[in-house]
Amino acid sequence: MSSVRSTSRTVTFLFPFKMPGMQEPHAAGTFDILAEEEQLDVMWDARRTTLSILLRYPGRIEALPVTAGDLEEAILNDRNSGVKSTLS
């Protein structure tokens, strides 16, 4: 029998952002990231983790599945968006 453990954290985007699966960039803001970790039914300790970001729209909330890599890349891009380039 497998068990599922859920955790959450928040992430703040300072600039509009777009991740795979999104048609349009989403406005900046603070978003909940839900992680569900399911223990796999195998002889060793193995787990599958799925992530979702909760996107808020007027009158609704959408849970968009994301990978850890896509989420970290979006966060890094957001942080780098505020850095002015010194190259001409």
Domain range list for the chain: 4-81
By 3-state DSSP, what share of the chain in percent is helix, strand and coil, each rounded to 5?
Answer: 15, 45, 40
The pLDDT mean for the chain works out to 87
- pTM exceeding the 0.85 threshold for the entire prediction: no
Kindly report the three-state secondary structure assignment for every residue of 12-33.
EECCCECCCCCCCCECCEEEEE
- Tell me which of 22-31, 34-43, 54-63, 79-88 is least confident: 79-88
**Cβ pair 24, 46 in contact under 8 A:** no
Would you state the pLDDT for residue 71?
94
Q: What amino acid occupies position 34?
A: L
Alpha-carbon distance of 38 to 47, in angstroms, equals 5
Per-residue pLDDT of 46-84, as tens digits, reads 888 899 999 988 899 999 999 999 999 999 999 998 765
